[in-house]
Chain A
Amino acid sequence: MNSALRTAATGMAAQQTRTEVIANNLANVNTTAFKRSRASFEDLLYQSLRDVQVVGNADADTTAAVQVGRGVRLASINRMHAQGSLEQTGRPLDLAVEGEGFFALRGPSGNPVYTRDGNFQVSDRGVLVNKAGLTLEPGIQIPDQATEISIGRTGIVSVLQNGGELVEVGRIPLVRFPNASGLMSLGENLYQETPASGLPTHGAAEEEGFGHIVSGYLESSNVEIVQEMVEMISAQRAYEINSKSVKAADEMSEVATQMIR
């Protein structure tokens, strides 16, 4: 009887985790380039109470093994790397990737980190950095006398010199992964490669397998409020149902213990 209680408790814990994931998605509905997460579950160990048996005299008649499952556990929380819609900002250094590809940045400890959030700035030393000051890899130097910066679909960065001539100063590369859902989130819209994501493939916008860069736009969050609300309702109901099995199992053991008067 206690095992029914424990099984129901695993169900409640799973729905709790699911609600936490949904709450985080909803909290990030306005986060640039945020990718929604989805919790997925798997069933737990099955306990065999009785093995396959032969019934009666005919050898062909067998009954199935009696197996009782012991609940559910979190299998994974996957990020869904679907494209978010592009939001116009008009700022030339706001970049969105339409299609596959991440911007590579040099992380705080020198290791490469990746992002889809293309809210870039020119640092005091004239290089392109993201809003947290991490350098875009490879460093693209913007000359001091540049008056206007423009970034093309393929990631080529051009500046207008004071003489009025357009000079190419570099090209923003993109990186893609065989399994982007396997990337580890570091917060601040940054991701890190893991064995699950596979090795990064370096390339550039509009090359094979990569999307293109749109200047003057930012990618918005791919969270859809309605979808998350429906998920939340379903998680809440499932939580409630599992609490009912806790109650039912408890009442049954109460009945059993009341037999002795």
Chain B
Amino acid sequence: MTAPVSGLSIAAGAMRGAERRMEVVANNLANVSTDGFKAERTFAHLLDSVQGTPVISARADIRQGDLRETGAPLDLAFKGEGFAVVSTPRGERWVRGGSLTIDPANRLTLGGAPLLGERGPITLPAIYQQLTIQPDGTVLADGTAMGRLRVERAATAATALEREPQGTFVPSADRAAVAPDARALRQGSLESSNAEPVSTMVEMLGIQRHHAILEKAIRVLDETRGTAASQLGKPV
């Protein structure tokens, strides 16, 4: 037999859960203008029906953000599925496009980490007039192919991705390359954050109300106990 869990501790646990969700929502709102940002979605689930308190989980919502045209040749956005691969000191990481830069060794970099093509980092010639990135990820300098970017995704859409700062994700164990004809890279565009301000604000209000209701529940439970303690002992 499992010891019964008091209503008070369930309500307190749920209040902590609401606070956790609030932290996630605050982070989404703080990143409404971070290009390539993927909002975190929270959901509650019961790990154990006896324990009663739901556990809050969060996962990246990798839905497409709006693309906006910038006209800058080094801005790169992804339409549809897929991440570019960058080589960081921590290992290979996934990143959803952004403003590319060229490092002193003439390599294409994103957030300071070299972008990886199918044959390693993409090195540009010292002098070129025009840099073109085709929808399948082929990088051309004055019409000469310099390599094709790697574009990868998790084999199953349900795979939760671990996040790191600077908009990077740790590649999932079931990583797979996106077929060249299924890619839609856009040069001269950036993908806006997919954290949608209005719905996130509504979510925030909901969390706030939920939190207040739980506080009320604790108060009622406490009053019930108070009544039991003060009234039951009285002589009739």
List 19 A–B pairs whose Cβ atoms lie within 8 Å, in order of A's numbering.
A4-B19, A11-B26, A41-B31, A42-B167, A43-B163, A43-B167, A46-B164, A64-B58, A64-B59, A69-B27, A72-B30, A80-B72, A182-B102, A198-B104, A238-B29, A244-B204, A245-B204, A248-B204, A256-B215
Contact B30 A76 (CB under 8 A): no
Contact A238 B163 (CB under 8 A): no
B residues less than 8 Å from A45 (CB atoms)? 165
Contact A40 B163 (CB under 8 A): no
Contact A238 B101 (CB under 8 A): no
Q: How far is the CA of A245 from the CA of B33 in the complex (A)?
A: 15
B residues less than 8 Å from A126 (CB atoms)? none
Contact B58 A67 (CB under 8 A): yes
- Give per-residue flags for B1-32: 1 if the beta carbon is below 8 A from chain A beta carbons, else 0: 00000000000000100111011111111111
Q: Is the interface of B mostly helix, strand, loop or mixed?
A: mixed
A residues less than 8 Å from B51 (CB atoms)? none
Contact B111 A42 (CB under 8 A): yes
Asked if A218 lies at the interface with its beta carbon under 8 angstroms from chain B, I say: no
Asked if A192 lies at the interface with its beta carbon under 8 angstroms from chain B, I say: no
B residues less than 8 Å from A1 (CB atoms)? 19, 22-23
Given known A-B contacts A4-B26, A252-B19, A179 and B34 have beta carbons under 8 A apart: no
Interface residue stretch chosen among B80-88, B125-133, B145-153, B228-236: B125-133
Asked if B138 lies at the interface with its beta carbon under 8 angstroms from chain A, I say: no
Number of interface residues of B (CB under 8 A): 63
Q: How far is the CA of A165 from the CA of B107 in the complex (A)?
A: 50
Which of B56, B164, B197, B208 is in CB contact (< 8 Å) with A251?
Answer: B208
B residues less than 8 Å from A10 (CB atoms)? 30
Besides A78-B72, A80-B70, A209-B129, 11 more A-B contacts (Cβ < 8 Å) are A4-B22, A43-B27, A67-B40, A68-B40, A71-B26, A178-B106, A179-B102, A181-B72, A198-B102, A245-B22, A256-B211
Q: How far is the CA of A14 from the CA of B58 in the complex (A)?
A: 24
B residues less than 8 Å from A14 (CB atoms)? 30, 33-34
Number of interface residues of A (CB under 8 A): 65
Asked if B160 lies at the interface with its beta carbon under 8 angstroms from chain A, I say: yes
Contact A242 B30 (CB under 8 A): yes
Contact B19 A68 (CB under 8 A): no
Q: How far is the CA of A15 from the CA of B30 in the complex (A)?
A: 9
Q: How far is the CA of A245 from the CA of B27 in the complex (A)?
A: 9
Closest residue of B by beta carbon distance from A260: B222
Contact A178 B124 (CB under 8 A): yes
Closest residue of A by beta carbon distance from B106: A178
Given known A-B contacts A82-B72, A238-B33, A248 and B23 have beta carbons under 8 A apart: no
Asked if A201 lies at the interface with its beta carbon under 8 angstroms from chain B, I say: yes
Smallest distance from the beta carbon of A84 to chain B beta carbons, Å? Answer: 13
B residues less than 8 Å from A110 (CB atoms)? none
B residues less than 8 Å from A131 (CB atoms)? none
